[in-house]
Structure 1
Amino acid sequence: MAASTIVDMNGNPFELPDLEEQQTLGDAKLSPLRSHYSNHPSKGLTIAKIAKILLDGEHGDLIDQCELAEDMEEKDPHIQSELGKRKLALLGVDWNMIPPKNATDAEKRDTEMIEEILRDATWLDDAIFDAADAILKSFANLELKWQYADKTHYIAGAEWRDPAWFKTHPDDRNQLRIRDGSHEGLALQPFGWLSHQAKAKSGYLSRRGLVRVLAWPYLFKNYAARDLAEFLEIYGLPTRLGKYPSGASPKEKATLMRAVMSIGHNAGGVIPKGMDIEFHEAAKGGSDAYMAQINWCEKSQSKAILGGTLTSQADGKSSTNALGNVHNEVRQEIRNADLKALANTITRDIVYPMYALNGKSFSSPRRIPRFEFDITEPEDIAALAEHLPKLVGIGMEIPKSWGHEKLQIPEAKEGEPVFTVQTQAPGLQGLKRLAALKAQPEISSPEAMPGHYSAAVMQRLEGEAQPVIDAWVDQLETLLQDAEQQGLDLADVQQTLAETYPDLDEADLADLLGSAFLSAELAGRNGVKDDI
């Protein structure tokens, strides 16, 4: 790849190296890092040893502090479980690419191009999980693997690098450097790293991670667990006391000692004549004190990692549903803060390089697409659908984009099929209103009707048909009222109507219609005769 001059996110120029060769592989001075293995500083951990590890970390030597964090996560199931919850919570949130403000068409196309590449990236979820390692150790570095194909620079992978490979700059305690044997260390290659930093608290880089908070309850919990194991080993066993006579030889004393030590497990043994073994009352006590210390340590760890205890532990006393919901809300706030910090890192270390190398609209590091996790909570659709028309009705001008954002419903693109309101049959109340209508049909003037029907004939037909129709309407009204009292829905009413239809008395109406047809025929003949 040809070298080119480009600026970083802060506008500072730097020489772009060959991105297809990873820094830790291309620099011979860094080869010893690959042969580095952990010293496991948790072995024989004491208060003094922890104090020294944390002090060395403040001075820029992060090896023991990072390796202690690794041991803690491996050896303590509770720490691993709580950290796992916090890390895995980041993977279940969707993300979007947001173009710059007032973006041009070219900027929007470049944003869609970057999003398409990242959507297809199989390494992104693993990178998010590995970057969350910074929660415990305050930083996490992933080395990017670049490739060039189809006139596009894209990232083919992101490899997690051991935090023990890094140190802080002696003159800038917030700047990470690679340990290459020099005093200052080697700067991270531009566009070559996803370097994420997480803040559990304010302070310099080496003091921000949770490892410095969790180290102490981890130590005290191990003390309590060790003491509990010793207590359980001897609990319930009587004290054995061996007595040997004066002048016993060392061999006899050793024989008696072996008998005393093994008789509790073997329930039998052999000792020289003249020696005795006495059994005293078994050890008394309980494990409550040890378990209380272990529980306190685990609750302290849960508070430090998740902000509460009721999302992981329940004591049966204070673990109410309401309090559990409050703790879960705190945990969600922590997750959202993690996601915002991680989105800023991805925008800086992944989106910006891809945009600078591939974007046709790239003009300045101040106008770049942003990577954002969708952490907005959807509003209550029922409540919004009820109140929004009222607000619009009083004159509020509410943009449609606001409603889509609140409900997390994407806006339809041009030409995209959308849902529409389907015309439905009238509901139960509508049927009642229709059934209650007994308006008289309007009668056209006799002169306007074929055959010049007289008004007297029309009024007679209407008068004779109306009682039959009223009887039908009354029967339907009774049916609908009964359906409303029984709580039936429209489908039930339709079924009942279908079942009731054969029972309607239609004989009178049939006779009336027959008479009407006959009258119409006679009137027609009479009209023809008159015209002749």
Structure 2
Amino acid sequence: MSSRLIDISGKAIPWPSENEMQTDESKLSHLQKHFAEHPSSGLTPARLGSIMREAEQGNIIAQSDLGEDLEEKDGHIFSELQKRKLTLLTIRGSVEPCRNASESEKKDASMVQELLDEIPDFEDVITDMADGILKGFSNIELDWQRWGDDWLINRAHYRPQNWFQLNPNNRNEIRLRDNSPEGAPLQAFGWIKHIHRSKSGYPGRNGLTRVLAWPFLFKNYSVRDLAEFLEIYGLPLRLGKYPSGASDKEKSTLLQAVMSIGHNAGGIIPKGMEIEFQEAAKGASSPYEAMMSWCERTQSKAILGGTLTSQADGKSSTNALGNVHNEVRQELRDSDLRQIASTLTRDIVYPLWMLNGRAAGDPRRHPKFVFDVSEPEDIATYSERLPGLVSLGMRIPQAWAHEKLMIPQAEDGDPILALACAVPAPAPALESELEKEKDKKAANPKAKLAALKAQETTDVVEAYVSQLQGMANKASSEMIEQIKSLVDNARSLEEIRDGLLALDMPPDALADAMNQALSAASLAGRYELLQDAN
């Protein structure tokens, strides 16, 4: 197999046994026993500058450990990073064939998707890759296994960043620390090597650790100073007075009482001694809180691109500004997903495609991993606008509308939605029976006469109703206009009540219309009785 395997760049690669991992304890046991140094303990500006210079020169151990400390010790940094990481899991990703794919290439993409689905906890792989946002890179070792004729990824093991170093001859290359000056190169098809570019530069400088470390340091200074302020100014000054000639033992007893009385709220002293409580000097905690707030706002801007999607601003903000900041956060999400998809294509999709019998194909036509970051358009807006555009003569394809609204098109035979009020067409048999019944009625003279009388009666009734509406509309409209004007100008319900009682709305016109309608109805009834008698 090694003679025909090539990486995504076209270089021939050897392929080790499926049970052999590069960080096996028998090879690099010193990495398994390495523990973090926690450089944030006693961190000073001078020490922080030294850590960053070491990372620039290829020694990224201390900077990687500092990144772990930032996430563990600062709750605000942890919270903002979690928002950025977890939002990546809400977007669906899939393996897609290359452009203008043939049927064979489409089958290859489906095959790789099935093998990818077999990876346990694939969402954790994406989360582990997102650790590179803070530390600049994230390396995950792949444990391959042969199952029948297929090569599968049995497990994906996250490896901490302090296991690695930069190649001194090429600072863009990350290598394992094997106690050699250059380090061991990562074996092909054995790693997910994700370099996350939060900014331009090689991996030792492009992580957010270097941006967040300074506000983290200043914030810790302010928190320490605030704690000292509260300890000093939170309790009143306790001053003990002893009489002249007091012995050293008596002085020691008084001092012990003074030091413990603040917390124990009680104590005893020899007779003749005094303890006075002096009001503490005036001070304010606002300078320390302002500094801490500035640090957290800076951290939010660095991680999420703004402050209005978190509580870091400490103020109420408008919905419009919040939407703007949320759009910036969405752009960061799309950028993160694009970088992760590129790495997954190179280090998982391509090896699965190559190792499972597709080496004879063109390596440039391999499948790709893609996240669907498209958002559906507002269906309410489209439903209002599209009919007008169509009426103007625009020829809008149905496929385009389905794509914009992210509504799949129905396949042949699929049940589709329909209006609930739609009246189904009568069945052919029922329709023929109705026609026969009509023909029978038409052939019967008496039935025909009864139908004509019923039609005539319906027409007369409709005419009476229409005439009554015309006569009553004028009178009722005048009343409605007066009431409407009263309601529009009134300032309280009581004013409306009093206004209604004071309105002059003579019902004469409406009463005349009703009288004429009743008289007409009575005469029409008598006429029908006479017609039936004849």
TM-score grouping bracket, smaller chain normalisation: 0.7 to 0.9
From 137, 159, 162, the equivalent of 2:160 is 162
In structure 2, the residue corresponding to 1:221 is in which secondary structure?
helix
Compared with structure 1, are the counterparts of its residues 30 and 168 closer, same or farther at alpha carbon in structure 2 (3 Å cutoff)? same
Mean CA deviation greater in 460-469 or 72-81:
460-469
Would you say 1:417 and 2:406 are equivalent positions?
no
Residue matched to 1:23: 22
Question: Which residue identity does 1:470 align to in structure 2?
Answer: D
Question: Which residue identity does 2:459 align to in structure 1?
Answer: D
Q: Tell me, in whole angstroms, the C-alpha distance in 2 between the residues paired with 1:476 and 1:77.
A: 76
Residue deviations 1:449-481 (CA, integer Å, cap 9, x gap): 979x8xxx9997775443124257679999xx9
Residue matched to 1:438: none
Residue matched to 2:179: 181
Compared with structure 1, are the counterparts of its residues 31 and 274 closer, same or farther at alpha carbon in structure 2 (3 Å cutoff)? same
Mean CA deviation greater in 336-345 or 385-394:
385-394
CA-CA distance at 1:150 after TM superposition: 3.5
Compared with structure 1, are the counterparts of its residues 279 and 464 closer, same or farther at alpha carbon in structure 2 (3 Å cutoff)? closer
CA-CA distance at 1:426 after TM superposition: 6.8
Kept in 2, the 8 Å contact 1:20–1:145? The answer is: yes
From 147, 150, 173, the equivalent of 2:148 is 150
Q: Tell me, in whole angstroms, the C-alpha distance in 2 between the residues paired with 1:249 and 1:52.
A: 54
Compared with structure 1, are the counterparts of its residues 512 and 410 closer, same or farther at alpha carbon in structure 2 (3 Å cutoff)? farther
Would you say 1:44 and 2:48 are equivalent positions?
no
In structure 2, the residue corresponding to 1:24 is in which secondary structure?
coil
Kept in 2, the 8 Å contact 1:42–1:71? The answer is: yes
Residue matched to 1:215: 213
Mean CA deviation greater in 54-63 or 249-258:
249-258
Gaps of 5+ in 1: 428-442, 482-504, 516-532
Question: Which residue identity does 1:83 align to in structure 2?
Answer: L
Give the % identical residues.
Answer: 53
Q: Tell me, in whole angstroms, the C-alpha distance in 2 between the residues paired with 1:399 and 1:199.
A: 40
Q: Tell me, in whole angstroms, the C-alpha distance in 2 between the residues paired with 1:159 and 1:313.
A: 35
Compared with structure 1, are the counterparts of its residues 298 and 473 closer, same or farther at alpha carbon in structure 2 (3 Å cutoff)? same
Residue deviations 1:114-161 (CA, integer Å, cap 9, x gap): 223333433210001111000100101111121221321121221110
Compared with structure 1, are the counterparts of its residues 462 and 162 closer, same or farther at alpha carbon in structure 2 (3 Å cutoff)? closer
CA-CA distance at 1:403 after TM superposition: 3.1
Residue matched to 2:110: 112
Kept in 1, the 8 Å contact 2:95–2:369? The answer is: yes
Would you say 1:331 and 2:320 are equivalent positions?
no
Alignment of 1:129-278 (within 5 A): 129-242=127-240, 254-269=252-267
CA-CA distance at 1:113 after TM superposition: 1.6
In structure 1, the residue corresponding to 2:284 is in which secondary structure?
coil
Kept in 2, the 8 Å contact 1:302–1:309? The answer is: yes
Residue matched to 1:467: 456
Compared with structure 1, are the counterparts of its residues 279 and 386 closer, same or farther at alpha carbon in structure 2 (3 Å cutoff)? closer
Q: Tell me, in whole angstroms, the C-alpha distance in 1 between the residues paired with 2:110 and 2:460.
A: 68
Question: Which residue identity does 2:54 align to in structure 1?
Answer: D
Kept in 2, the 8 Å contact 1:236–1:283? The answer is: no
Residue deviations 1:18-66 (CA, integer Å, cap 9, x gap): 233221117x441210011111111111111111111111111111101
CA RMSD of aligned residues (A): 3.9
Question: Which residue identity does 1:19 align to in structure 2?
Answer: E
CA-CA distance at 1:362 after TM superposition: 5.5
Residue matched to 1:484: none
Kept in 1, the 8 Å contact 2:61–2:163? The answer is: yes
In structure 2, the residue corresponding to 1:218 is in which secondary structure?
helix
Residue matched to 2:401: 403
Mean CA deviation greater in 418-427 or 68-77:
418-427
Gaps of 5+ in 2: 425-437, 471-523
CA-CA distance at 1:10 after TM superposition: 1.3
Residue deviations 1:367-421 (CA, integer Å, cap 9, x gap): 11111111111012233344445656666565554333322233445x5624154
Aligned length: 466
Q: Tell me, in whole angstroms, the C-alpha distance in 2 between the residues paired with 1:55 and 1:476.
A: 95
Question: Which residue identity does 2:75 align to in structure 1?
Answer: P
Kept in 2, the 8 Å contact 1:5–1:15? The answer is: no
From 296, 307, 310, the equivalent of 1:309 is 307
Alignment of 1:96-107 (within 5 A): 96-107=94-105
Q: Tell me, in whole angstroms, the C-alpha distance in 1 between the residues paired with 2:531 and 2:327.
A: 74
Question: Which residue identity does 1:51 align to in structure 2?
Answer: G
Compared with structure 1, are the counterparts of its residues 233 and 425 closer, same or farther at alpha carbon in structure 2 (3 Å cutoff)? same
Q: Tell me, in whole angstroms, the C-alpha distance in 1 between the residues paired with 2:189 and 2:464.
A: 82
Residue deviations 1:487-521 (CA, integer Å, cap 9, x gap): xxxxxxxxxxxxxxxxxx9xx99x999x9xxxxxx
Residue deviations 1:147-186 (CA, integer Å, cap 9, x gap): 2213211212211101100111101111100000011111
Compared with structure 1, are the counterparts of its residues 170 and 311 closer, same or farther at alpha carbon in structure 2 (3 Å cutoff)? same
Residue matched to 1:284: 282
TM-score (norm 1): 0.77
Q: Tell me, in whole angstroms, the C-alpha distance in 1 between the residues paired with 2:377 and 2:68.
A: 41
Alignment of 1:372-383 (within 5 A): 372-383=370-381
Residue matched to 1:13: 12
Q: Tell me, in whole angstroms, the C-alpha distance in 1 between the residues paired with 2:395 and 2:246.
A: 105
CA-CA distance at 1:234 after TM superposition: 2.5
Kept in 2, the 8 Å contact 1:132–1:140? The answer is: yes
Compared with structure 1, are the counterparts of its residues 272 and 106 closer, same or farther at alpha carbon in structure 2 (3 Å cutoff)? same
Q: Tell me, in whole angstroms, the C-alpha distance in 2 between the residues paired with 1:387 and 1:512.
A: 58
TM-score (norm 2): 0.77
Kept in 2, the 8 Å contact 1:19–1:191? The answer is: no
Kept in 2, the 8 Å contact 1:110–1:359? The answer is: no
Residue deviations 1:320-369 (CA, integer Å, cap 9, x gap): 22211111111111111111111111111111111111254861221111
Kept in 2, the 8 Å contact 1:169–1:177? The answer is: yes
Compared with structure 1, are the counterparts of its residues 33 and 314 closer, same or farther at alpha carbon in structure 2 (3 Å cutoff)? closer
Compared with structure 1, are the counterparts of its residues 388 and 12 closer, same or farther at alpha carbon in structure 2 (3 Å cutoff)? farther
Q: Tell me, in whole angstroms, the C-alpha distance in 2 between the residues paired with 1:160 and 1:376.
A: 30
Compared with structure 1, are the counterparts of its residues 472 and 114 closer, same or farther at alpha carbon in structure 2 (3 Å cutoff)? farther
